[in-house]
Amino acid sequence: MSESFRIGTGAGFSSDRLEPAIDLVERGGLNVIVLECLGERTVAFAHRDRMANPKRGYNAHLERRMRALLPACHSAGTMMITNMGAANPRAAAERTLAVARDLDLSGLKIACIEGDDVSTLVPKDQAFMDEPGTLADIDMPIVGMNAYLGADAIRPALEAGADIIIGGRLADPSMFLAPIAQHFGWANDDAPRLGAGTLVGHLLECGMQVTGGYFADPGIKEVPNMAQCGYPIAEVAADGTAVITKLDRTGGCVTPATVKEQLLYEVHDPARYLTPDVTADFSRVEVAAMGPDRVKISKASGSARPATLKVTVGFDGGFQGEAGVSYAGPAAQQRGQLAADIVRERMARLNGRGDLRIDLIGVSSLFATAGLRSTDAQDVRLHVTLRSCEKEDAELMLWEVESLLCCGPAGGGGFRGAIVPCVMTKSVLIPRERVNATLEMMVA
Amino acid sequence: MTTLRRNAPRIVRDIAHARAGDKGNTSNINVWAYDPDDFALLKRTLTPERIKRAFPQLILGKVARYEMPHLCGLNLVLHDALEGGVNRSLNLDSHGKSWSYLILGMALEGDERAPPNGAQDN
């Protein structure tokens, strides 16, 4: 059997943990580590950051991650691929270059991939991808538009011998597929193999969600040593089959159950999972335990890639205020309900401006619309949310909730309140030939 | 995997595990029977009709179901079921990550006396 290609995850979302990533690079013997740090809304928030400061708009943890991982990757001979560039890949690459020079990593090759920003390429009245209407129907300012770039946008940087590849809206599984396909020499139209590589990417892109994270349910689904949970590794074979595993002496677990939960995570039709690279088919995937924390995946396939690329359009969504007060002990639920009624009445002076929601945490919050409530809760929290394009409306709501401390029901305490900016996103499609990914190599 | 049970299973969580994810205003929940012998019961329990009937205020669109019989799994796709989705919903859990436990709390088919998801509003 020929040698497998070892690829691992060093972040599965923008704020994912750093220490296990360092451990994985130091001990994993990896060819490549991928840091996947973007969601649809993360890009929109990053655009807001960039508008406030043209030198920003990339992942807030980029510098800390690079300071820790660049030397480790350099020592281990592991290359890194990341979409931490978010709304400003160039600034992220320049920042990384400065970190590399500061660490005396001279000669380090940092590839910056751009071209995902398609804000000048999408018509103002472009129809939405999956709902009626067009961009022109939204009366909020657009903050950015980014096309999902696939493996074909990443492979030139691999061919050019990059040590670090930084992009913006690089599609999550494509960051894994690109180095696998490049290593084994798969063509960009070899759909069955690209489908197999996409499955590897799909399983790894959310980091520890496949190694026991987001899985534990005490008494039924026990996960050992979760505090020290390790990131995943895939040992990929030339035929696209792979073993999902993790480092020894890390917490978490890799079992058929953890792999299956991730297999269909955010997938609709398992036979048609669309990415920029392929229409992947996960419907016949086999999942087999091979030993402790080793699970083999096989029989993923695929057919031709879509003719269009998905574009996320981000809008400035105004502000959201959240505030709460807690009640405990006898009749806590009734006192919390009274507080809710008082706030609703006092907020009526906004005359319906903004969207208001009031929950009683402990009685009914997450499942309120589903129609489920507890009775006789002894420890409840009034939780009020208001979203408006006017920040003043959110400020008024926070004030009204705080004033319950003196002119609300008996025994309320623990007021907290905060106002955060909001974004809204919509999806549209763009013909792929209209998008041109570009590559610039920076050498430390 | 066979599990020993002290009591007869009553809710989906007794025979299966699940994870929820979101795309826009659509929730998808993958559900897997621990024991292949329970897959038929899981399929009878989690029909699109039964799911939609359990949460009529929440699930405003259609429910689609994809089967992965060789892995004893179902993928439930709940359209227009996230209170507008992460962009619009004011639910604390605007992604509907907890929807997996809405499904895991449902009574198994044939055990309709079991209170779905604990106490009910009345």
| Residue of A185, A189, A234 lying closest to A5 (CA atoms) | A234
pLDDT tens, residue by residue, B2-53: 444 456 789 999 999 999 999 999 999 999 999 999 999 999 999 999 999 9
Q: Which residue of B has its CA nearest to A288?
A: B71
Nearest to B77 among A268, A368, A425 (CB): A268
Same domain, A279 and A333: no
Residue A353 Ramachandran class (φ > 0 left, ψ -120 to 50 alpha, else beta) = beta
Q: Specify if A128 maps to a domain.
A: no
pLDDT tens, residue by residue, B44-78: 999 999 999 999 999 999 999 999 999 999 999 99
Q: Specify if A71 maps to a domain.
A: yes
Same domain, A376 and A296: no
Q: Give the pLDDT of residue A352.
A: 83
Nearest to A366 among B71, B98, B118 (CB): B98
How close does chain A come to B91, measured CA to CA in Å?
Answer: 6
Same domain, A350 and A383: yes
Stretches where chain A sits below pLDDT 70 are 1-2
Same domain, A300 and A387: no
Residue in A281, A372, A385 to test binding to B, most B beta-carbons within 10 Å: A372
| For chain B, domain boundaries | 12-104
Q: Specify if A111 maps to a domain.
A: yes
Instruction: Kindly give, in sequence order, each residue whose CB lies less than 8 Å from that of residue B32, ignoring residues fewer than 6 positions away.
Output: A257, A260, A261, B16, B17, B18, B71, B72, B73, B74
Nearest to B17 among A130, A221, A355 (CB): A221
Residue in B17, B78, B93, B94 to test binding to A, most A beta-carbons within 10 Å: B17
* First and final C-alpha spacing in chain A: 38
CA distance A210 to A252: 9
Report which secondary-structure segment, H or E, holds B58. none
Residue in A221, A253, A261, A424 to test binding to B, most B beta-carbons within 10 Å: A261
Q: Give the pLDDT of residue A2.
A: 59
Taking only residues 73 to 112 of chain B, the set having a beta carbon closer than 8 angstroms to any beta carbon of chain A reads 73, 75, 77, 83, 86-88, 90-93, 98, 102, 105
CA distance A117 to A136: 19
Contact B13 A220 (CB under 8 A): yes
CA distance A200 to A244: 8
Same domain, A215 and A256: yes
The reply to whether B65 touches chain A by the CB within 8 Å rule is: no
The reply to whether B27 touches chain A by the CB within 8 Å rule is: no
Same domain, A180 and A259: yes
Q: Specify if A96 maps to a domain.
A: yes
- Sign of torsion over alpha carbons A180, A181, A182, A184: positive
Range of the domain at A366: 313-426
Same domain, A384 and A253: no
* Mean pLDDT of the residues in chain B: 89
Q: Specify if A141 maps to a domain.
A: no
Q: Specify if A89 maps to a domain.
A: yes
Contact A372 B91 (CB under 8 A): no
Bridge partners (DSSP) of residue A296 are A243, A288
CA distance A271 to A285: 10
Specify the residue for token string 């574009």.
A311
Tell me the residue length of chain A.
444
Same domain, A352 and A235: no
| Structural tokens at position A116 | 């995902």
Contact B17 A355 (CB under 8 A): no
Same domain, A241 and A153: yes
Interface A–B counts its CB contacts (< 8 A) at 117
Contact B86 A287 (CB under 8 A): no
Same domain, A155 and A261: yes
Q: Which residues of B touch A220 (CB under 8 A)?
A: 13, 17
Q: Does domain B12-104 have CATH number 3.30.1360?
A: yes
Same domain, A12 and A113: yes
Q: Which residue of A has its CA nearest to B116?
A: A372
pLDDT tens, residue by residue, A341-365: 999 999 998 888 899 999 999 999 9
pLDDT tens, residue by residue, B76-111: 999 999 999 998 899 999 999 999 999 999 999 986
Contact B17 A269 (CB under 8 A): no
Q: Give the pLDDT of residue B111.
A: 64
The reply to whether B120 touches chain A by the CB within 8 Å rule is: yes
What's the Cα-to-Cα distance from B95 to each of B87, B98, B100, rounded to whole Å?
9, 8, 11
pLDDT tens, residue by residue, A100-135: 999 999 999 999 999 999 999 999 999 999 999 999
The reply to whether B39 touches chain A by the CB within 8 Å rule is: no
Q: Which residue of A has its CA nearest to B105?
A: A372
Q: Which residue of A has its CA nearest to B80?
A: A131
How many CB atoms are located within 10 Å of the residue B10 CB? Answer: 15
What's the Cα-to-Cα distance from A423 to each of A47, A51, A92, A184, A355, rounded to whole Å?
10, 13, 22, 40, 15
Domain count of the fold of chain A: 2
Report which secondary-structure segment, H or E, holds B24. none
Question: Looking at residue A317, which CATH number applies to its domain?
Answer: 3.30.70.1150
Q: Specify if A129 maps to a domain.
A: no
Same domain, A32 and A151: yes
Q: Give the DSSP letter of residue B11.
A: B
| Structural tokens at position A142 | 């657009």
Q: Which residues of A touch B70 (CB under 8 A)?
A: 284, 286
Q: Which residues of B touch A367 (CB under 8 A)?
A: 98, 102, 117
Report which secondary-structure segment, H or E, holds B34. none
Statement: residue B113 has pLDDT above 60: no
